[in-house]
Structure 1
Amino acid sequence: MGQIKDTMVKLKCSLCSRITHYTKRNKKKVKEKLALSKYCRFCKKNATHTESK
């Protein structure tokens, strides 16, 4: 059996539009874009970070 690899994705802040975080995501299991609440060091607040290209 083959292993399904996770791919690295960039997370972009919804407030300042900067790429501040990286994470792994399994594209075969999770079809929709990833959206996580994380701390942005440029905005200095918690904001929603969405997956970008």
Structure 2
Amino acid sequence: MPTKKNKIIIVCDNCLSRNYTFTKSSINHSERLEIKKFCPTCNTHVLHKETR
């Protein structure tokens, strides 16, 4: 049985710009995604969090 993949958007913690999209399995990962990625608006590496 294939797992359901949900499209998620992650937001910069500093400037709140929506920079990246990912797909994530809702069955395997129930917690919110937090990744340190490059923000082109801030021009630095910043923590990005998943939105709902």
Q: What TM-score do you get using the length of structure 1 for normalisation?
A: 0.91
Q: CA RMSD in A?
A: 0.7
Instruction: Provide the identity percentage.
Output: 19
Which runs of 5 or more structure 1 residues have no equivalent in the other structure?
A: none
Aligned counterparts of 2:11 and 2:31: Cα–Cα separation in 1:
15
User: How many pairs does the alignment contain?
Assistant: 52
Which runs of 5 or more structure 2 residues have no equivalent in the other structure?
A: none
Q: What TM-score do you get using the length of structure 2 for normalisation?
A: 0.93
Alignment of 1:12-51 (within 5 A): 12-51=11-50
Report if the CA contact (8 A) 2:4-2:27 is conserved: no
Task: Say which SS state the counterpart of residue 15 (structure 1) adopts.
Answer: coil
Instruction: Give the corresponding residue for 1:7.
Output: 6
Report the CA distance between 1:39 and its aligned residue: 0.3
Residues 15-41 of structure 1 show CA distances to partners (whole Å, capped at 9, x for unaligned) of 101111001111110010000111000
